[in-house]
């Protein structure tokens, strides 16, 4: 038998071949297609997540806004078990300078008889000199509540009273008398110390309105460069309240684009009823001198998200004052689409937009809430 040389065995071994250039290019193209599909899926999921997050943001802000205003409305007209007509003023409280704002001066602060009061929105703030027009969203309504409480303080705890961060208090005895006095002043002796249910309550004045920015900056005026480093002003629900040294404006919650308010009045012929017979605008209530008959308030709110939809966009119609007659100048119905807005039935109002993103690129949530003025109901 003939031996096979090592060199022959090497020559007969099969050759090892790699991929050709064409095969590599095909594999790369297929891989890129798969990766591109995965990226599109991830981007779509990310976009959907942000839009959902924006929707959750608007709903959360809506709940917070309606809760804040609703709480104040439910407290309106509480005077420690007395009616507003039984509230007297000490000489210091009657002459104190609680506010230097011309539209909402000290007399306006002390107006306890108007436990709830409203103003119809327009092209400027309805109380001239109270809030700068630049800090007001045109066409949005304004609502004011006044009350004492809710937590009573034992009149003997003078240090606790003085430390409370409000400018005025009401000392009241249930069903007897009530008196307003200034912070730092000695607690009045009327009602008497022996009176049943005698407590001291902080006095509250709270006005809710909408502002086109959350942080007005050092100058206190909303502008395009406000609201932090992003310089993207956000519509905000504001509260003007009585603090320890006067009226203080503070943001309640961002993202509230529109506020409209209707007032439910009772039937004068049936003063014991607790269901309003009709809802009117603030202007109609004022012209009819019906504020003492208001026993319910209907709030219409629209919250807008801050994440723009860079795709198709958003469309919606918002009817915030359905009980007002069609064509009423105080009504507010507006609509937005990805390419247009219609505010012809919401006088003076411009929906929120930002930079190159039109109003129809932002998700909105509308909400209508009815609140009973419970202290008026109890006093009937």
Contact 82, 197 (CB under 8 A): no
Q: Which of 23-27, 229-233, 269-273, 332-336 has the highest mean pLDDT?
A: 332-336
Q: What is the signed CA dihedral for 271, 272, 274, 280, rounded to 10 degrees? A: -10
> What pTM did the predictor assign?
0.85
Our measurement of the distance from residue 315's CA atom to the centroid of its chain's CA atoms, rounded to an integer in Å, reads 22
Between 69 and 153, name the one with better pLDDT. Answer: 69
Between 243 and 27, name the one with better pLDDT. Answer: 243
pLDDT 10s digits, 52-92: 666 677 888 888 999 999 999 999 999 998 999 899 999 99
pLDDT at position 68 = 94
pLDDT 10s digits, 219-268: 889 987 777 656 678 999 999 999 988 999 999 999 999 999 999 998 87
pLDDT 10s digits, 158-176: 777 878 889 999 999 988 9
pLDDT at position 162 = 79
What is the mean pLDDT of the segment spanning 274-291?
90
- Residues 154 and 157: their CA atoms lie apart, in Å, by 6
- Residues 363 and 126: their CA atoms lie apart, in Å, by 29
pLDDT at position 1 = 47
User: What are the tokens at 183?
Assistant: 């912070």
CA atoms within 13 A on the CB side of 46: 7
Residue 227 sits at the vertex; the CA angle it makes with 226 and 233, to the nearest 5 degrees, is 75
Residue 13 has pLDDT above 70, yes or no: no
Alpha helices in 76-151 (DSSP H): 91-95, 106-109
Buried b (16+ CB within 10 A) or exposed e, 354-373: beeebbbbbbbbbbbbebbb
Q: pLDDT tier at 116 (50, 70, 90 boundaries)? A: very high
pLDDT at position 264 = 93
- Residues 371 and 376: their CA atoms lie apart, in Å, by 12
- Residues 339 and 88: their CA atoms lie apart, in Å, by 57
- Residue 360's nearest CA partner among 371, 351, 349 is 351
- Residue 82's nearest CA partner among 115, 55, 56, 59 is 115
Our measurement of the distance from residue 276's CA atom to the centroid of its chain's CA atoms, rounded to an integer in Å, reads 25
Lowest mean pLDDT among 58-67, 101-110, 149-158: 149-158
């Amino acid at each position: 038998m003939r031996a096979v040389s090592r060199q022959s065995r090497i020559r007969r071994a099969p050759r090892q071949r790699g991929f050709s250039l064409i095969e590599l290019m095909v594999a790369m193209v297929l891989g890129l297609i798969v990766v591109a599909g995965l990226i599109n899926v991830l981007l779509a999921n990310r976009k959907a997540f942000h839009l959902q997050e924006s929707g959750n943001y608007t709903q959360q802000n809506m709940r917070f806004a309606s809760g804040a205003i609703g709480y104040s409305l439910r407290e309106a007209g509480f005077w420690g078990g007395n009616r507003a007509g039984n509230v007297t003023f000490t000489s210091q409280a009657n002459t104190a300078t609680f506010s230097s704002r011309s539209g909402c001066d000290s007399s306006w602060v002390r107006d306890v008889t108007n436990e709830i009061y409203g103003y119809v929105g327009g092209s400027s703030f309805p109380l001239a000199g109270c809030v700068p027009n630049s800090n007001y969203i045109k066409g949005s309504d304004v609502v004011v509540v006044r009350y004492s409480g809710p937590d009573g303080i034992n009149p003997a705890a003078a240090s606790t009273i003085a430390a409370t961060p409000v400018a005025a208090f009401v000392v009241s005895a249930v069903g007897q008398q009530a008196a307003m006095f200034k912070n730092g002043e000695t607690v009045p002796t009327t009602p008497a110390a022996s009176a049943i249910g005698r407590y001291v309550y902080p006095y509250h004045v709270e006005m809710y309105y909408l502002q086109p920015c959350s942080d007005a900056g050092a100058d206190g005026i909303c502008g395009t460069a406000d609201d932090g480093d992003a310089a993207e002003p956000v519509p905000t629900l504001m509260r003007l309240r009585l603090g320890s040294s006067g009226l203080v404006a503070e943001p309640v919650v961002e993202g509230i684009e529109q506020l409209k308010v209707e007032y439910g009045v009772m039937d004068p012929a049936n003063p014991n009823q607790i269901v309003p017979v009709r809802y009117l605008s603030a202007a109609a209530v004022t012209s009819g001198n019906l504020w003492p008959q208001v026993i319910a308030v209907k709030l219409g709110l629209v919250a807008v998200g801050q994440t723009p939809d860079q795709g198709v966009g958003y469309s919606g119609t918002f009817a915030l004052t359905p009980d007002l007659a069609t064509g009423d100048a105080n009504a507010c119905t507006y609509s937005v689409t990805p390419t247009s807005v219609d505010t012809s039935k919401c006088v003076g109002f411009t929906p929120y937009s930002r930079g190159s993103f039109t109003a129809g690129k932002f998700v909105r949530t509308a909400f209508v809430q009815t609140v009973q003025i419970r202290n008026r109901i109890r006093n009937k």
